[in-house]
Amino acid sequence: MNKKEQLLHLANSIKTSEGDCFNFNETELVKELNLQQENKSSLVIKILSIFGGILSSFAFLGFLLIAGLYDSEIGMVIFGIGFIAGSILINKAQDKLITDTLSVSLYILGLALIGFGFSEMDMNENLIIIVFIGIAVSSLFITQNYMLSFISILTINGSLLALIASNNLYSLIHLYIAINTALLVFIFLNEAKIITYNKKFSKLYNPSRIAIVISLLTGLIVVGTKDFLPISTNIIWISSLVFFVAIIYLISKIVSVLQIETAKNKNLIYLLSGIILIPTVLSPSISGALLIVLLSFYVNYKTGLVIGIISFIYFISQYYYDLSFTLLTKSIILFSSGILFITFYLIINKKLLPNEKN
């Protein structure tokens, strides 16, 4: 029995058990399942489509500039608006994977031309960035295509980072991280509510989830890479505090799922969690990557889990590379951290869970 048959069987089973109080549109359900099967593709294919769209956009942009379009600021803006409109119309008319690369190319090309045009008109940089945010938000309302929604959300977050950098408000990176963290936790822990709220939200869920993961990772790279931006180290603990709160909240959910009820075992888990998190207070990127890992594990999101694990390893390596210690001292710290994680795992699996079952 394939996935389509399983879902139809499940829907009919629920209808039989619930009676007249449960109804579903079988025709629309079959139509949606058929559409998903036709457009089914892995994340790798989607990423390749995006990069293909970016490369083709830059190639065509070079052709337009060579052709003399660069000499007309208004022409660039008009063409840019036309390309974005065309991208949205293509996806409204044909929601298929084969059209994604074309629509992404037109969308990126349109944003680039609008940016160049307004820049040549000497428009304020902040206004140009705000225009980009407005276009991206409008695109999300008009079409919920996976690729365009993904690009639009990345555009919004990239524009926010650009606003922070262009105005030298580097401390606001912590607000950027806090907002994306809150969105990520909400989206991961409320999947059922979001996809059943309405049809538009259900279509936006998957692209929003991966886009916010990438947006948060971008913020983590900014604060986790030494001298990337002149961010004050005196307040870097703010982002760490955000992640600590989110992780402790998530651990409380995991403890509930595992049915760990005794106060002693709960307190031990929270204590060990605190011991693990405290050393990362000056490197919020580590605790941020750990949050992505825990969230993805909690909801069984394999793509996020892989991204989180790779990020976690990278940020730990980056953190210890930047420490002003000898190689021997760094090795001891890494060894001790590994022992601590293994101890945490053994206590949960060998002691706490069996005790709760008994």
How does pLDDT run across 18-49, given as a tens digit for each residue?
Answer: 556 656 555 655 555 555 554 445 555 666 66
Q: Is pLDDT at 98 greater than 80 in this prediction?
A: no
Helices (H), the chain: 3-18, 26-38, 43-66, 73-93, 100-120, 125-142, 146-166, 173-189, 191-195, 199-224, 237-257, 263-277, 284-299, 302-322, 327-346, 353-357
* Percent of the chain predicted with pLDDT > 90: 14
Q: What confidence score (pLDDT) does residue 78 get?
A: 86
Q: What confidence score (pLDDT) does residue 326 get?
A: 56
Angle in degrees, 0-180, between the axes of helices 302-322 and 284-299, rounded to the nearest 10: 160
Interval 152-171: pLDDT, tens:
999 999 999 999 988 888 88
Comparing 68-77, 184-193, 212-221, 273-282, which segment has the lowest mean pLDDT?
Answer: 68-77
Which of 174, 192, 180 is closest to 232 using CA atoms? 174
Q: Dihedral of the CA atoms 230, 236, 239, 244 (nearest 10)?
A: 160
Q: What is the rounded average pLDDT for all residues in the chain?
A: 76
Q: Is pLDDT at 119 greater than 70 in this prediction?
A: yes
Q: Using a CB cutoff of 8 Å and minimum separation of 24, what contacts does 189-193 make?
A: 189/250, 189/253, 189/295, 189/298, 189/299, 191/299
d(C-alpha 64, C-alpha 313), whole Å: 43
Q: Is pLDDT at 7 greater than 60 in this prediction?
A: no
Banded pLDDT at 302 (limits 50, 70, 90): confident
pTM for this predicted structure: 0.77
Q: What confidence score (pLDDT) does residue 336 get?
A: 59
d(C-alpha 312, C-alpha 318), whole Å: 10
